[in-house]
Amino acid sequence: MSIVQTENLTYTYSLGTPFEKTAVKDVNIAIDEGELCGIIGHTGSGKSTLIQHLNGLVKPTSGSVFIDGQNIWDKGVKIRDIRFKVGLVFQYPEYQIFEDTVFKDIAFGPKNMGLSEDEVSRRVKDSAEIVGLRPETLGKSPFELSGGQKRRVAIAGVMAMEPKVLILDEPVAGLDPKGREKILAQIKRYRDEKNATVLLISHSMEDVARFTTKILVMENGGVFCYDTPPKVFGRAAELASMGLSVPQITRVINRLKSAGIDIPGDIYTVEYAVKKINEYLARK
Ligand SMILES: Nc1ncnc2c1ncn2[C@@H]1O[C@H](COP(=O)(O)OP(=O)(O)O)[C@@H](O)[C@H]1O
Ligand SMILES: [Mg+2]
């Protein structure tokens, strides 16, 4: 069964005013448990608006959202419980840090869930470890930390609620390549250790290609496609016409192919390209 599902989901900002804007149009998605789903699309394609529906932060103008098969806006469903099940990390979450110690900031969510002090403490330590924060950092003020460290604190704060579905809006935007790599690996680790489902918005095709099991491509408020990375990046020309690109390595390989060099298969990571090129050279 799909853990995240939408049916004809539509959302219009400022409905009934001259500023009316339909940001999400008739979206039907079904994401299976355990998937690490990348969400890509041009700026303004509705990615952020879509994900804010999935934990009930935004109520659909029409259509439905189902989490674990349950319509989250049905009578009797507590949105609070949905928020615990579906954790949302906003873009630039470091700006939402407010407690005076890292420990307290990460503890805010789990405390709010009414967990015992011991359990809160276990979760804070556990999630700090997942995002690579050292134990001694927990006693510091978050405001003494670097931007990348603050981002980790904010992500750990949502992970500490141990949501079954973790959704992140551009979690590595603005970080240097090493920082990006680490945070993406930590997000993957959360998913592996907690058997969680992860959705992450990204505008880096390279990141999406390496880290996801499925890719949702949004176009103009709607779903262009939802498929595995090779299938999605196999549609290079269509993506280009939307202002999206395939990973750089896929472009390189496509050029080689069009120059008559026979490297078979769908190639979208550098590691796989190296393997295929070596095989080609060995054949020659
Ligand atoms: N608070 C808002 N009020 C009005 N329009 C908005 C608001 N937030 C986003 N929009 C519009 O909705 C569309 C989708 O935006 P968004 O979901 O932020 O897309 P993305 O995350 O893909 O860049 C855009 O046209 C954007 O200008
Ligand atoms: Mg956005």
265 belongs to a structural domain = no
- Which ligand is nearest the CA of 218, by number? 1
Which tokens is 242 given?
């939307």
pLDDT attached to residue 265: 74
Ligand 1 atom closest to the Cα of residue 218 is 22
In a domain, 192, yes or no: yes
For residue 258, what pLDDT band results from cuts at 50, 70 and 90? Answer: confident
**Among the bound ligands, the one closest to the CA of 169:** 2
Any domain includes 172: yes
* pLDDT digit string, tens, across residues 201-217: 998 888 898 899 999 99
Ligand nearest the Cα of residue 15 is 1
For residue 65, report the distance from its CA to the centre of ligand 1, in Å.
Answer: 19
The predicted model scores a pTM of 0.94
Does the pLDDT value for residue 243 go beyond 90?
no
Q: What is the pLDDT of residues 84-140, one digit of tens each?
A: 999 999 999 999 899 999 999 999 999 999 999 999 999 999 999 999 999 999 999
Domain span including residue 208: 2-228
Residue 104 Cα to ligand 1 middle (Å): 32
| pLDDT average, residue stretch 166-170 | 97
The pLDDT of 143-158, averaged and rounded, is: 95
Cα separation, 43 vs 243, whole angstroms: 10
Residue 104 placed within a domain:
yes
**Which protein residue's CA is at the shortest distance from atom 3 of ligand 1?**
13
What is the residue with the minimal CA distance to atom 18 of ligand 1? 48
Residue 278 belongs to a domain: no
What domain count does the chain have?
Answer: 1
3-state secondary structure labels for all residues of 115-174: CCHHHHHHHHHHHHHHCCCCHHHHHCCHHHCCHHHHHHHHHHHHHCCCCCEEEEECCCCC
pLDDT for position 267: 87
Residue 136 belongs to some domain of the structure: yes
Mean pLDDT of the chain: 94
CA distances from 249 to 44, 76, 206, 239 (A): 26, 50, 8, 15
pLDDT given for residue 234 in this prediction: 87
pLDDT at 182: 93
Q: What local confidence, expressed as pLDDT, does residue 82 receive?
A: 97
Mutate to test the pocket of ligand 1, among 9, 10, 11, 13 (most ligand atoms within 8 A of CB): 13
Atom of ligand 1 nearest to the CA of 43: 23
Q: Is residue 257 situated within a structural domain?
A: no
Contact in structure between 128 and 135 (CB atoms under 8 Å): yes
Domain of 69: which CATH number?
Answer: 3.40.50.300
How many Å separate Cα 130 from the centre of its chain? Answer: 17
Give the model's pLDDT for residue 134.
Answer: 96
Residue 21 region by backbone torsions, left for phi larger than 0, else alpha for psi between -120 and 50, else beta: beta
- Ligand nearest to the Cα of 49, by number: 1
**Cα of 40 from ligand 1 centre, angstroms:** 14
Angle at 215 between CA 210 and CA 221, to 5 degrees: 140
User: Which pLDDT band holds residue 44 (cuts at 50, 70, 90)?
Assistant: very high
* Per-residue confidence (pLDDT) for residue 22, from 0 to 100: 98
Pocket test for ligand 1, best of 9, 10, 21, 27 (most atoms within 8 A of CB): 21
How far away, in angstroms, is 44 Cα from ligand 1 center? Answer: 5
Residue 274 lies in a domain: no
Is residue 150 pLDDT above 90, yes or no?
yes
Residues within 6 Å of ligand 1 by CB: 13-14, 21, 23, 41, 43-49
If one compares 251 and 64, the residue with the highest pLDDT of the two is 64
